[in-house]
Amino acid sequence: MKIFLDTANIDEIREAADWGILDGVTTNPTLVSREGRDFEQVLSEIVAIVQGPVSAEVVAEDADEMVRQGEHLASLNPHIVVKIPMLPEGLKALRRLSEKEIATNCTLIFNATQGLLAAKAGATYVSPFLGRLDDIGQDGMELIGQLVTIFDNYALNTEVLAASIRHPLHVVQAALRGADVCTMPHKVLRQIVKHPLTDIGIEQFTSDWQKLAAAGQKLAIGAT
């Protein structure tokens, strides 16, 4: 499963990239607005760090304008993926952008039929929003399983991108159900690295090492 970061914060992206596990980034107008910086400059910096798919969302509700904005975003860098909302006009835009070989991410997917339509329209990714479904008492993970099965049944090339991730268990569940990608906030990425038993183990090893050093043993690793 590919790991994407759901943010527009450069420091967060750089940290994840330095870990060597970051495959891509997803952004949206809300995330970009929090940075208080020029949208295209932020995108340029993100792409330079990630060198992988970076989703950038159009801000329109009619197909012609979505396509115009999408073409402009795609022209900024080959790694840009144009994010299109699940609307009838969005489906039109997905098809037209797909025909131009522009990568797309259909966002705000909340049921399997929406995802199927987006895939048939040529979406590169579909983004089911798990956390928002959980918020209204529905099982977001069931949707992931449905989409993976449907796409496999019909050999659709669209990737299932698990979005609206709220906690580490969402990441595990999405992986178990076969999601191609999981995009998560920086907070969740840091949480999945941590475990209290790992911390305890490191503290114990360090303590024992220091006891040996205090006893006068030479402990410089690699020293001759």
Let me know whether 6 and 41 are in one domain.
yes
- DSSP assigned state of 25: E
* 213 has pLDDT over 80: no
Let me know whether 155 and 68 are in one domain.
yes
Catalytic residue among 2, 83, 92, 120: 83
pTM of the model: 0.91
The answer to whether 154 touches 114, Cβ cutoff 8 Å, is no
CB count within 10 Å of CB 190 equals 14
Let me know whether 204 and 173 are in one domain.
no
161: nearest Cα among 198, 124, 199: 124
Of residues 214 and 23, more confidence is placed in 23
Which tens digit of pLDDT belongs to each residue from 133-164? 999 999 999 999 999 999 999 999 999 999 99
Does the active-site annotation cover 211? Answer: no
Which tens digit of pLDDT belongs to each residue from 46-72? 999 999 999 999 999 999 999 999 999
Let me know whether 138 and 218 are in one domain.
no
Which tens digit of pLDDT belongs to each residue from 108-128? 999 999 999 999 999 999 999
Residue 143 phi, psi dihedral angles, 5° rounding: -65, -40
Domain count, the chain: 2
The answer to whether 125 touches 106, Cβ cutoff 8 Å, is yes
pLDDT of residue 98: 98
Angle at which helices 168-176 and 140-153 pack, to 10 degrees? 30
What is the CATH number for 65?
3.20.20.70
Overall average pLDDT of the 183-201 stretch: 94
Let me know whether 144 and 218 are in one domain.
no
Hey, what are 197's tokens? Answer: 């038993």
Let me know whether 205 and 133 are in one domain.
no
Let me know whether 163 and 96 are in one domain.
yes
Let me know whether 117 and 223 are in one domain.
no
Let me know whether 208 and 130 are in one domain.
no
123: nearest Cα among 82, 154, 87, 153: 82
Which tens digit of pLDDT belongs to each residue from 167-177? 999 999 999 99
215: containing domain: 195-224
Let me know whether 113 and 218 are in one domain.
no
Let me know whether 63 and 121 are in one domain.
yes
Q: Please report which confidence band the pLDDT of residue 208 belongs to, taking 50, 70 and 90 as the band edges.
A: confident
% residues pLDDT > 90 (the chain):
85
Let me know whether 109 and 136 are in one domain.
yes
Look-up of token digits 């396509």: 67
